[in-house]
Amino acid sequence: MSEGRLRWQCRRGMRELDRLLETYLDRCYAAAPDGEKAAFEAVLALSDPELVDYLLKRQRPAESSIAGVIERILEQDIATG
């Protein structure tokens, strides 16, 4: 998927979600292995309520690849402070 399309899909209409997703896209996506890239694209396909629950750690994704990307997204947020 093109970076422009990914960036557009990162725009969720919630500033906090947008920032988390775009930070991962900017810092991690290009160097990520293909499996992680596919998992990030799967994360972008999630509904906003699901995504919020995962990012706020209210729930954990059943699929381990998605859970791994959620963890990387949160790690980037901690790193940016």
Q: What φ, ψ does residue 57 adopt, rounded to 5°?
A: 60, 30
How many distinct helices (H) and strands (E) make up the chain? 5, 0
Residue type at 29 in one-letter notation: Y
Q: What is the largest CA-CA distance in the chain?
A: 31
| pLDDT 10s digits, 25-76 | 999 999 999 999 999 999 999 999 999 999 999 999 999 999 999 999 999 8
Q: What is the extent of the structural domain holding 61?
A: 3-80
Number of domains in the chain: 1
Domain with residue 49: its CATH number is: 1.10.150.250
Does the pLDDT of residue 81 top 70, yes or no?
no
CA-CA distance, 81 to 72, in Å (whole number)? Answer: 14
